[in-house]
Structure 1
């Protein structure tokens, strides 16, 4: 233990001194190279998310507009309007307005729209031939768009009435697209203008997490600033030569983040000051410094390395012992510390190994004991003598032409052969074999209770290959005869069904007998075994239930549903097994 204490002491001294020095250097490095970078990446991701949302909105509006301009109704209006007389022009205009209104109702951000002919005449859906919108087209928002030579895109925000019932002008942003003849794409036949509620965009930007935000058009005009931060927009203009004005830029007192829209030339910019970065990071820095101080103190006071060296093997032994106490005797523990803990671990492994051996020997002893008892019983019964005697009875019955006796005794021999079968791995048999044995039992009972019952079978072919416990159905069939059919003094029907799903086999034994009162169901489970008939081996209902629990655990169940005067239904659910599953 002296060597262990010496190693622990020197490790404590070295770790305490080095960790304190490194923590100071790491804190400085972490803030300048890692923490700021992480915060910038988070802000870039938030900015990109806002850009994607705006980009999605603009792309959605673009698709909406292009869907309309290629529609036959609008194409026909632009190409034929000047060729119509006044009445037909009015009729065509109203028809086109009605067509577009059908689409406009699906877009809550669309306040109005206008059809503009090549000569500049404009038809605003809010006022028809009124000159109000034509006068708006002389303003800079539209003229700048036309001068840019752009085929389609968004204009600058501008003021105008939103609809035909104006109270005051509101801020609108318009989407303008040049309309071309779809039959002659080189021919321009007008423009289509969709006026959008600016607040639809503004609300998204107002709720962004940035204190400073600027939305710029492709021409550099400011579409939105927060909070009216014109200085931020000018700062973006000053960086025209930096990476196509997209990315992160170091500026005085902070960083500038700029992201560009995919579907347009728009840009979204935000300014993040050094002070705001420090405010966000200071809690981390304070915690880092605090934990550095605390951890150094704990290393010196509590001797963490020594504790870990001792407690880790102890925890392994503790977990292994818990596993053994829960019944997992395959547990072992690996401890390679080279000290007393390793000896304890090796002793634990020897103990569990000896315990497994003892339990396996005990199980084998009990199995041998049961087989010996069964062999002793069978030796007293001398089954070969019984088989020979019954075969002689069959021969005599055949000689006398009594086929009923032949069938009954042959069925009895087969049932008897199965009843005295022991050993081997035959606790589970195919349902086909179990049904064959049950039919022999039914053959015997049909002579004893002539014309008292009939049996209906509904067995799926696939289910006959599934494995079931031996002599599982017979106790329930016997119960249906003795407790269901016979007491009602008239013929009855017993129906046996079997079907399977992906993981379950469902067996039902149903009779139309007198039924069972609810308070007697539990009594049947408890007392049925005591009422076994002499002769054949009898397996009671309670024993059958225990066999299922032993073989399948919670994956198998027996349910009895009965109604007095109507009959009883026994449902058995088993895991779906076949020879390949074993």
Structure 2
């Protein structure tokens, strides 16, 4: 413990204080900056990834649009429309005409490199070209044909070719333009999977971000992926904006869905790329904090030394007073405050040395003065007689109100100052009379701001009570209640039988501003400590009443019960036994006191 006391120096306090301030400031600023900048970096990375996804989806829409345009041109070709109209009219298409249909379709295949083959079927599922007898039902599942029928002339993207996993199939209804767009057949297009490779859309950022891309059809089957493993087996769908693990690396998944096909495009960006700036920021903040802390420590040490060294010299000079005459401190400081403190000490030393010379003479004079002061003490009766003389003089001049105030003041002083052997205990009637005299004096001082009344049952006026128990509570009601109120207020003092048999209740009520529950609890706590702080005095009187009630009555009394509400005033209540015998062993203690 002694070693800890030696470490509790001003220099160490300055160092610790400055370091705490530095740590709090740097930690707060670093935490705030890290949070704000990391959010900006994360948002920027997500925006970049989202932009890449939009670009890739835009390219996909262009590719799909090319297929859609091509099939629409084939379906609306004049020769194809004429031959299918002939087929609907009941005149079968001849072999030579089927060859011409195939030649017309082959002209359009050259416009799109990704198309492997075009197939055309009649409305009864017979294949018109290529030139064989395979039916549409044997070529694709029946549900796909139903989806094409539901498309009503739109190009319907179905999925992988059941006979070739590297080919994607789409079907369009062929409708006759000149025959009210009636159904005339089916156009089936086979597209290579390589046609949907979208890596060129992110080629500019691929080396930098190592982003990966995967395209899935409506059934969740992988159409395209640049991942090293099967993307459909990794289950990367339905994780938009979340972190997922593919292989041994974590990625942030962003998804885009095509409105035309229902296909989903997933772009995977490594988490370490998205958070690379955050790591650099964290390192920069830690390094800056460490460097700043070291510099702050060195500067704080230098500053604390500059402050404490002159103080230590002054302490050494003060310690010389233990050996006799005080000596001045010749050391000076460049700091204005420390130099002023040293000058003040030197002036004090000079003054004390002068005072020491006359201490002995003053001690002799003081002993003689104390004797004369004892002889010159004022007799209380002189005060009472003087007040009586004031009363008669005012009465002779017709100043009845002032005369009554002087009488009240005289009775007030006589009640407080006069001491007899049985002066410790009085009756409630005596206390009420004393409180009435106090209220009259306060009424004159506060003019029309104070009104009061005293209500007491006659039987209660004879109950014994310790002297000066009620008047402090009345004073408290005026100071903290009525004087704090805007406008006139009222104090009511009541003494009445309690609901407990053999007890009397005393209530002091005011209609001042009141207190909230927290203020009442705080008041109760301070009363137990024997001190109540306030703007109108220290509150020792109220605490003294509480302590006297506990002292004189122990468990027989109730102590002070304070009830208050903001805007509705305050009520202070206590209960005491009607007879001293009810106090039990406490009566002997009181008589002895």
TM-score, normalised with respect to structure 1: 0.39
TM-score, normalised with respect to structure 2: 0.38
Structure number with greater Rg is 2
